[in-house]
Structure 1
Amino acid sequence: MVDVARVLVDSPLPQLDRLFDYAVPTALIDQVAPGVRVKVPLRTAGRMVEAWVIETDEISEPPRPLSEVDAVVSPVAALPPELYALARRCADRAAGSASDILRLAVPKRMVRAEKAWLTADPPPAPVVSDEAVVWAGATLSVFPGLSDAVAAGERIAVDAPPRPSADLPVGAWAELLAAIAVEMLAAGRSAVLVVPDHRDQAQLLTVLATRVGEDAVVRDDARRSGPERYAAYLRLLAPSPCIVVGNRSTVYAPARDVGAVIIWDDGDPLLAEPLSPGVHARDAALVRQELEGSALVFSGHTRTTDVERLVQLGWVREIAAVRRTSPKVVLSADRDGQGRRVPSAAYAAAREALAEGPVLVQVARPGYAPVLTCADCRTPARCPHCAGPLRARRAGAVPECAWCGRTVPAWRCASCTGTRLRMVSSGSERTADELGRAFPNTRVIVSDGEHAVTTVDARPALVVATRGAEPIAEDGYRAVLLLDGDRMLLAEQLRIGESCLRWWSNAAALAAPGAPVHLVGVEGPLSRALASWTQPAYARAELAERAPLAMPPTVRVAVVEGTATAVAGAVDDLRAALPQLAHTGVLGPIATGDGAVRALIRFDYGAGRTVADVLRARVVAEALRGRRPAKDRAAPRTTLKVRLDVPELDL
């Protein structure tokens, strides 16, 4: 009998995305176990590589001579079987490699943190106080049946209450999600909370700090140091349950007996994984729920078309609040016809609100003047070096390029040879200057990418913030002005309407109860959806409009990019496997530069398995065909890139 370890090599090469058999030497039999890291020889590369042991077995006679495991990197079984199964399923769905997903899910090993964890006592089981349980029950009672649905492991969509908390400097949504997690922990199960950024994470941690002990909460995000993140990951492997709060990769967190996975604001682009294979946190959560049977909760102030499609199919159940609440939204237009950026009604509301507390002003862009044009012909001003857009950091400043950063002191228009520039847009800093002059003796606070502000006190102030960077105000804002809505809608994106509604709704939810929220210069279905606070209805209307046009998410979309021959081969394979793609399913290919082409493949959800398998097989075939001989490392390498579930049809 021969002891065999089946391993997954940690490699980006698609042809290595399968299990390989290695003989286990006698000296390592007691150390090689499923989930541990090992080093194995890779004959084709002539070197040692790291790998994960997926399973072990004994076979009587190997079909061929087996190489031996060289060494055990760590004795810790850091890859639970459930995590490998999830990574494998997500990778197969996205035509990617399981090792790429594991590289996102499992932090880099830190020896010192690992030794400290091995010598420390296991964490005790967290104790949830009766007071915390009563609080959680009272918080969730606003949504009848929510507690029972979570306990039963259902898939749920919940519209979060659009108001600030009455007790803490957080949104009421954070208390709702924390209450679900507290109930799970009280039942002896773990909860995984996935949020877009550190601001959302800080709100959840603030609520949980007042309800459960520090040992029960695990913070997981890339802002922590390597040792801290690896120590937090090792804590998840302990047998005691916990509450995990983190960003998109937290959806893979291997916590003990997960009872609920909660996704906040799944429409935020930060939850879309940019690295291969590009699995969105929402899709990974759906796969995990199917594998583990845990509850899955989608929550937000708006409803994405992706979640609404699942609600319409009956795959996700919507649970509404017993009493519907919404902000006081006012559609504020420039009735004087003078093209004012802040109409008189919104200006009056801000002046009145400043007597009581802070006022939030949301703008589209950071900086002073992010867009400059020729003062004579109105042609957008471009950098003479890289053709990037020019911007101004302050009034009278020398313009600079937003791409390469060069200053352009002697700019000349390429269309009319004019030399005068005109500022046609106002960023956060210019808006702050203008409002500061309009409201003298008033504090003005700027919050954007360069000026990070997370909270403001209850004193009167004008808070000018870019979308997504709005601070939390103590007791809520006394008025909210949503500016530049018409400019936000000019972006050439399929989902720009959804995005704008999400930006505006998240800002409106920061207003104190009864405080006015002025949406300036926007009309049509979007403004009506915000004013009536019927975001799910808008998502349903969007789905109905996209279905006849075969636009996502009514269909899935794959992007195939590479050489013309490789892309043509992939498209031919798909047409052979799915004849229905022959006429309308393929868009392109078109040239993208450097000899590469790109094609879009639109297909129904039922064909997803076939499309993923065909494209993955073609990727492996192209990778093998493009291998360079050992004696000719300068030979060109043929590659084929594939990405599924792209949100935009962008050739």
Structure 2
Amino acid sequence: MSSDNGPQQPSADGAREAPEQLALLRETVRRSRPPRARPRTWRGAELAAELPVARVLVDKGLLHLDRYFDYAVPAAMDEEAQPGVRVRVRFGAGEREGRREGGRLINGFVVERVAQSDYPGALAPIAQVLSPERVLSPPLLRLCRAVADRYAGSLADVVQLAVPPRMARAEKRASPEAQPPPSPPSPGSWERYVDGPAYLRTLSEGGSPRAVWTALPGPDWPQELARAVAAVLSSGRGALAVLPDGRAAARVDAALTALIGDGRHVLLTAESGPEQRYARWLAVSRGAVRAVVGTRAAMFAPVHDLGLAVLWDDGDAAHSDDHAPQPHAREVLLQRAVTEQAGFLAGGHGCTVEAAQLVETGWARPLTAARETVRETAPLIRTVGDLDEARDAAARTARLPTLAWNTAREALQRGPVLVQVPRRGYVPRLACERCRAPARCARCSGPLEATDERGSLRCGWCAHEAPDWRCPDCGGARLRGQVFGARRTAEELGRAFPAVPVRTSGREHILESVPDAPALIVSTPGAEPPAEGQGYAAALLLDGWALLGRPDLRAEEEALRRWLSASALVRPQGEDGTVLIVAEPTLRPVQALVRWDPSGFALRELAERAELGFPPVSRMAAVSGRAEAVEELLGQAGLPADAEVLGPVGLPVIEPGRPRRSGDPPVGEHWVRALVRVPPGSGAAMAAALKTAHAARLARREGSPVQIRIDPPDIG
């Protein structure tokens, strides 16, 4: 008999439960103990008494290091090492965690201060506080993180775009004193738009309206944009306007200064110089200035209490950054409008498909003028098609149709004439006169171009001279031009109009403006200078086929945008302003120009892309690299279930001597590109999956490099 109080054998279930109970008991005892004393020193150096751990974003744009690193805060740096300041820390190949004393010094930003670190070992201390200026504010950090996630990039790369390099002398300068808000502006020329006055009134009353603005042709758009900014400032909030180039930004800067005076806004462009630009950026960061006008980099400007984000001409390629992760200003400003609950205004003479989608989905409202007003302000558009040129002897021999010569001759009696030529240079494309084979360089197979009227030949890739060229196919030695550039056009016009000055505007030298006097201005797209007074008397848009014939999804949209930008500089039809375009009249972008209907063209283009599943209806990512590397990355990425992989297809091999663009494969390597397409709502998941897989490959250091581009501008 066994006693009730005697020892008993554990059951089988009890034997299984004993280890779990013992582990639970040990965890309870561990939690009941007082916390272990935190070390107050590091190698003899005293640490900060409160929040002695700093989480630092190191200036390393490596995707697999896209996280924060913990460092100890010495007591001597306690006051200065606050969130947002620049520091220097030890970080090296042997000390990836930045925990030990070794490693080289690199820059970084303190993100936050915490009481303890998750790292079990000893933390290396911050080596130096570069400046007590808090340049990486929490709102700016959140914006940079959102942009990095959207474009599958690293946070350090985005912060490098958002925060300009430090200039010590600029930090020592005192920022100007904040000025009181200006009075609400009058509508002015906004009266020409159906909802223009109401839009300004809503901004001045503290509202955040979102609109896509189709600006009327003429010189008034800088003043209209300035009035929108002034309306926001009158409500006590901040404003940000991003323009494609320094010339456009300077025009808006001058208009805003004339409207509200000095001291209430700053101009952020590369022309200001690093020190002056950083001083202006600091004035915005400190809250002394509430409005910014600038180029692409200004999209990250830390405007306090942002009330309006403005983007002018969002179809311009200059709005897409060339540096990783290559964000577009439109997407950054849309992100800011949403997260900061600000108004949004996308303006331009044309309308992109992305802007049309904002209107189509109801996120933004159209801001347009009545058709009667458009007809009153737009110039007369005339066309010359292929059949007209075939019947025109002048067009066959001199490349310019008779109607173009007559239009220029008549308009020169009233003022300057603009001539838009799609290509720069003299004769950038040549072919054998006998067999029509393209003329190629014997050294690198690059295209030969004529550099002057003497017929001097030079390779467009390696600049090798080719004085004794002969066609390798037929042995011919005579060449004919396939494409004529701005300098050749200027030479022909100079011979035709010897009494009229001829000036060129292009990449080498862009004219700021031209006087209101008879002159011929030959310009490449995007470099057209405005004419003083009422504008150009006429414009000739030559070689339309060169813009329309590009193998690109956006070829027609881009051609119309460039034609509209040039035509908007011409006087209205009531003042005999005329635009002559040499292109097939039946083409849809030509008809959109004749009717001056960019919004209608964009909506039709959006409908067609929706049927085909092309952006912006879908989200896309381009994955480029060697075939095996692309296949490996796509196989490892946990793409969304609704993702569709198109390709891969081979990319052209970059030959030695040929200039490389951003995203091109290394010289001589055979790369392929695959497109990943997802429907709306899955873009974030696609970017996260590609980023995770790419980071894992980089951490393992396996395989050849791969490039990822979210929302590639060219999917052709």
Instruction: Give me the TM-score of the superposition, normalised by structure 1.
Output: 0.91
Match of 2:622 among 559, 566, 569: 559
Distance 2:631 2:118 in 1: 43
Mark the CA change 1:596 to 1:438 in structure 2 (over 3 Å): closer, same or farther: closer
- Give matches, 1:255-334, under 5 Å: 255-321=303-369, 324-325=373-374, 326-333=378-385, 334=388
Cα offset, 1:16, TM superposition: 1.7
Q: Which residue number in structure 2 is paired with residue 649 of structure 1?
A: 715
Distance 1:324 1:306 in 2: 25
Q: Which residue number in structure 1 is paired with residue 588 of structure 2?
A: 525
CA deviation map 1:472-517 (0-9, x unaligned):
1012011111111122211111101011100100000001122111
Q: Which residue number in structure 1 is paired with residue 538 of structure 2?
A: 479
Distance 1:95 1:259 in 2: 28
Distance 1:277 1:67 in 2: 30
Please identify, of 618-627 and 208-217, the stretch whose mean Cα deviation from structure 2 is larger: 208-217
Distance 1:94 1:179 in 2: 33
* Partner SS for 1:314: coil
Distance 1:229 1:640 in 2: 35
* Partner SS for 2:622: strand
Q: Which residue number in structure 1 is paired with residue 139 of structure 2?
A: 82
Match of 1:367 among 402, 406, 425: 425
Cα offset, 1:22, TM superposition: 2.0
Cα offset, 1:549, TM superposition: 2.3
Distance 1:522 1:207 in 2: 38
Cα offset, 1:449, TM superposition: 1.7
Mark the CA change 1:60 to 1:54 in structure 2 (over 3 Å): closer, same or farther: closer
Cα offset, 1:185, TM superposition: 2.0
Structure 1 residue ranges without an equivalent (≥5): 165-171, 628-636
Distance 1:429 1:62 in 2: 65
Is residue 338 from structure 1 mapped to residue 392 from structure 2 by the alignment? Answer: yes
Mark the CA change 1:397 to 1:496 in structure 2 (over 3 Å): closer, same or farther: same
Mark the CA change 1:286 to 1:594 in structure 2 (over 3 Å): closer, same or farther: same
Cα offset, 1:561, TM superposition: 2.5
Match of 1:435 among 461, 472, 493: 493
* Partner SS for 2:713: coil
Q: Which residue number in structure 2 is paired with residue 16 of structure 1?
A: 65
Distance 2:583 2:303 in 1: 47
Mark the CA change 1:369 to 1:590 in structure 2 (over 3 Å): closer, same or farther: closer
Q: Which residue number in structure 2 is paired with residue 630 of structure 1?
A: none
Distance 1:416 1:62 in 2: 73
Conserved in 2, the CA contact under 8 Å of 1:31 and 1:72?
yes
Distance 2:669 2:164 in 1: 35
Mark the CA change 1:242 to 1:389 in structure 2 (over 3 Å): closer, same or farther: same
* Partner SS for 2:413: coil
* Partner SS for 1:517: strand
Q: Which residue number in structure 2 is paired with residue 500 of structure 1?
A: 559
* Partner SS for 2:557: helix
Distance 1:392 1:586 in 2: 40
* Partner SS for 1:51: strand
CA deviation map 1:418-467 (0-9, x unaligned):
11112233211221222222223112121112232121111111111111
Is residue 610 from structure 1 mapped to residue 713 from structure 2 by the alignment? Answer: no
Distance 1:624 1:321 in 2: 55
Please identify, of 246-255 and 151-160, the stretch whose mean Cα deviation from structure 2 is larger: 151-160
- Give matches, 1:224-235, under 5 Å: 224-235=272-283
Q: Which residue number in structure 2 is paired with residue 599 of structure 1?
A: 674
RMSD: 2.1
- Give matches, 1:22-171, under 5 Å: 22-42=71-91, 43-44=95-96, 46-59=103-116, 63-115=120-172, 117=173, 120=174, 122-127=175-180, 133-135=184-186, 137-143=187-193, 144=195, 145-150=198-203, 151-164=206-219
Cα offset, 1:336, TM superposition: 6.4
Cα offset, 1:563, TM superposition: 4.5
* Partner SS for 2:304: coil
Cα offset, 1:211, TM superposition: 1.9
Is residue 490 from structure 1 mapped to residue 543 from structure 2 by the alignment? Answer: no
Distance 1:526 1:239 in 2: 45
Distance 1:61 1:486 in 2: 63
Distance 1:9 1:223 in 2: 29
Cα offset, 1:261, TM superposition: 0.9
Letter in 2 for 1:58: A
Please identify, of 209-218 and 31-40, the stretch whose mean Cα deviation from structure 2 is larger: 209-218
Mark the CA change 1:643 to 1:336 in structure 2 (over 3 Å): closer, same or farther: closer
Mark the CA change 1:525 to 1:563 in structure 2 (over 3 Å): closer, same or farther: closer
Distance 2:484 2:221 in 1: 32
Whichever of the two has the greater Rg, that structure is 2
Q: Which has the higher contact order (CA 8 A, sep 6+)?
A: 1
Distance 2:698 2:636 in 1: 16
Q: Which residue number in structure 1 is paired with residue 31 of structure 2?
A: none
Q: Which residue number in structure 2 is paired with residue 536 of structure 1?
A: 599
* Partner SS for 1:104: helix
* Partner SS for 1:605: coil
Q: Which residue number in structure 2 is paired with residue 167 of structure 1?
A: none
Cα offset, 1:128, TM superposition: 6.1
Distance 1:587 1:61 in 2: 44
Match of 2:439 among 375, 378, 381: 381
Distance 1:526 1:310 in 2: 21
Is residue 585 from structure 1 mapped to residue 662 from structure 2 by the alignment? Answer: no
Mark the CA change 1:476 to 1:61 in structure 2 (over 3 Å): closer, same or farther: closer
* Partner SS for 1:73: strand
CA deviation map 1:370-423 (0-9, x unaligned):
111111111111111111111112222311111111211000112111111122
Distance 1:94 1:338 in 2: 51
* Partner SS for 1:455: coil
Q: Percent identity?
A: 39
* Partner SS for 1:214: coil
Cα offset, 1:71, TM superposition: 1.7
Cα offset, 1:595, TM superposition: 6.1
Conserved in 1, the CA contact under 8 Å of 2:181 and 2:236?
no
Letter in 2 for 1:30: E
Distance 2:256 2:57 in 1: 38
Letter in 2 for 1:34: P
Cα offset, 1:542, TM superposition: 1.2
Cα offset, 1:590, TM superposition: 4.1
Instruction: Give me the TM-score of the superposition, normalised by structure 2.
Output: 0.83
Conserved in 2, the CA contact under 8 Å of 1:189 and 1:256?
yes
Cα offset, 1:564, TM superposition: 4.0
How many residues end up aligned between the 2 structures? 624
Letter in 2 for 1:162: P
* Partner SS for 2:707: strand
Cα offset, 1:126, TM superposition: 2.9
Please identify, of 408-417 and 44-53, the stretch whose mean Cα deviation from structure 2 is larger: 44-53
Distance 2:117 2:69 in 1: 17
Letter in 2 for 1:159: T
Structure 2 residue ranges without an equivalent (≥5): 1-37, 39-50, 654-667
* Partner SS for 2:139: helix
Cα offset, 1:60, TM superposition: 9.2
Cα offset, 1:63, TM superposition: 4.7
Mark the CA change 1:320 to 1:74 in structure 2 (over 3 Å): closer, same or farther: same
Conserved in 1, the CA contact under 8 Å of 2:150 and 2:684?
yes
Cα offset, 1:154, TM superposition: 2.7
- Give matches, 1:414-453, under 5 Å: 414-453=472-511
